Structure 1
């Protein structure tokens, strides 16, 4: 069960339409793939998206962290010594959470394969199906309304609306979407750190006063501004979810202790993988805080790992795992089945990935 080789590669997957937020605009997924090989011939798969505007992790940085630190740390270790392997992974380099997450999920994949158990059952096995929202990119109000109608026609009943570009337009954007869809779907919004605390309170309360019925807002203020997040949480009519503020279990615990947010978003690329995500979920259970599992703009390998987490824990009540359905094609064989809003986790051992087409290997 020793790790004999770790191979790196790249995949490129075009999006159906450009993905636009307050922080960036993207037209394709360009992610790093990790394959961990062991002496039984089993392979574990991981994936890391370069999301420099959020995580600080670029393609070169992810590859460098893997080649210079993570691979050197893991090769030769026994996957069955799982706790020791995970501790070594997390200690071998500071930050670089996306690279760690890719290696982490590949290790969980192998661990499940070795014991012939799907990862979601290893983690708790609460359910085998979940329902995701779908993201509506930030655009002119009329285009966002059309995109919202299209999502409803595809069967979605929860929309995550991106806001924060030209904040003076944000209320108009939401009014256009709500008018277009009526009460056919819930609306949650994501400001991606775009507002000041006072601006956030003003905008959010305007939205509710106009009857827009916003379920919650993700990360209305800067990631480091925990006090600002708390300011908004205490004054907003809209519940607040911490997202970019949560890069570690320690961040999550601090936010929960402060009462700085009503909910917490767990993303594998921010916390470094399933090992640390489980710690956040456990803290949330202690503090009575509901969680969402979300993703960056990712292909199915890494989102599939997040599906296993979401299916494992009851404290995870919100799902934002639409990365694969935003893509125009799927190069991944096996894993979870994404049928628009409904996601069914694989019952195969590990994470259930059988292979990936079109990998451009770096060695």
Structure 2
């Protein structure tokens, strides 16, 4: 199928709650959708997200895309674009002016799967339809009451594993949050912690051992120290008993390969780039390594998670984006299902496009608030 046109829609709205970790916080949503259009009218949908700063006006987003990206797509077979392998060199080793990279992979693979009338997870080779999901709060900036309410609701909806943000300058606060979590989730829950590189290696070891002595069985610690401190990750692996090390979120494909080769992480954390995830996933499978699927927009990463044998978990973070699409992925009893529709299964809601499209940059005071999420899981 040839790619013949594209459409970009800009969105901007206030979040229903603040999200963040020990390093960052985000109060608003800055988003654009990219739709690549095939010769028979099918569309492939991708999501362009800026976490911390507004995207430029819609006309400028389109101008940059038309100048930097469109010449390499126009008229090409979508199958060829999906499978292309290039070696970037010299000045070409750089990011695009706007964050189109992940959205391009979403849209290209969505359109490719639609061209052969297959769900994306099936096109990628999956033989299973569902995988475990864990409840991730992005909760660092929530009050204690908000924290407990979020995780109590998640537990009531059937989640069996829960990840909280740690790395506070006062370690007692991390211990306090773990104690609060234990009060509101099931007794046999799996508990993960994510420090977002807040600690030094010996500090991480001391903190994890203190958590264990306080009666908290930590299933994994995510990004405890700097991403490329392989010696430090090995030290944590060796000294923290049953707690697994989950790393790689902030590394590119080359960095993930080096992490795998060093064998200093029990779990490799991957995200939303379809092509990149599958390529590093194949290498991980060849090495017998385990993978975890981190946050992806509207859980689109479930398609790659289902297709890779080393993935046991998909992250779900209650970011209240479901109103943007006609039908989100089904989440039930702590598991997430791939869509049976051709493509990745997410289709932009025309009601959302009319309601939340913001062609021009608005000041925060002008943003509309999306209503708080009414359901923490959905049945398709």
TM-score under structure 1 length normalisation: 0.84
The whole-number CA distance in structure 2 between the counterparts of 1:94 and 1:87 is 16
The whole-number CA distance in structure 2 between the counterparts of 1:15 and 1:186 is 28
Q: Which residue of 2 aligns with 1:116?
A: 117
Per-residue deviation, residues 19-64 of structure 1 (Å, max 9, x unmatched)? 2311222234322211101222111000122136xxxx97359948
Aligned length: 346
Per-residue deviation, residues 308-344 of structure 1 (Å, max 9, x unmatched)? 1112222111211x24x43175220145234574322
The question of 1:221 aligning with 2:222 is answered no
Query: Secondary structure of the equivalent of 1:326?
Result: coil
Q: CA deviation at 1:120?
A: 0.5
Q: CA deviation at 1:128?
A: 1.3
Q: CA deviation at 1:188?
A: 0.7
Instruction: Please show how residues 1-363 of structure 1 align to structure 2 within 5 Å.
Output: 1-12=1-12, 15-51=15-51, 59=55, 63=61, 66-82=65-81, 86-87=84-85, 94-95=94-95, 98-136=99-137, 137-138=139-140, 139=142, 143-168=146-171, 169-181=173-185, 183-237=187-241, 238-248=243-253, 250-268=254-272, 273-295=273-295, 298=297, 300=298, 303-304=299-300, 306-320=301-315, 322-323=316-317, 325-327=318-320, 329-334=322-327, 336-339=329-332, 341-357=334-350, 358-359=352-353, 360=357
Does the aligned pair in 1 maintain the 2:271–2:277 contact within 8 Å?
Answer: yes
Compare CA radii of gyration and give the structure with the larger one.
Answer: 2
Query: Secondary structure of the equivalent of 1:314?
Result: coil
Q: 1:4 to 1:187 in 2, by over 3 A?
A: same
The whole-number CA distance in structure 2 between the counterparts of 1:89 and 1:331 is 36
Per-residue deviation, residues 93-112 of structure 1 (Å, max 9, x unmatched)? 62459521101111111111
The whole-number CA distance in structure 1 between the counterparts of 2:31 and 2:144 is 31
The whole-number CA distance in structure 2 between the counterparts of 1:315 and 1:186 is 18
Q: CA deviation at 1:287?
A: 1.7
Query: Secondary structure of the equivalent of 1:216?
Result: strand
Q: 1:13 to 1:339 in 2, by over 3 A?
A: farther
Does the aligned pair in 1 maintain the 2:3–2:74 contact within 8 Å?
Answer: yes
Q: CA deviation at 1:5?
A: 1.7
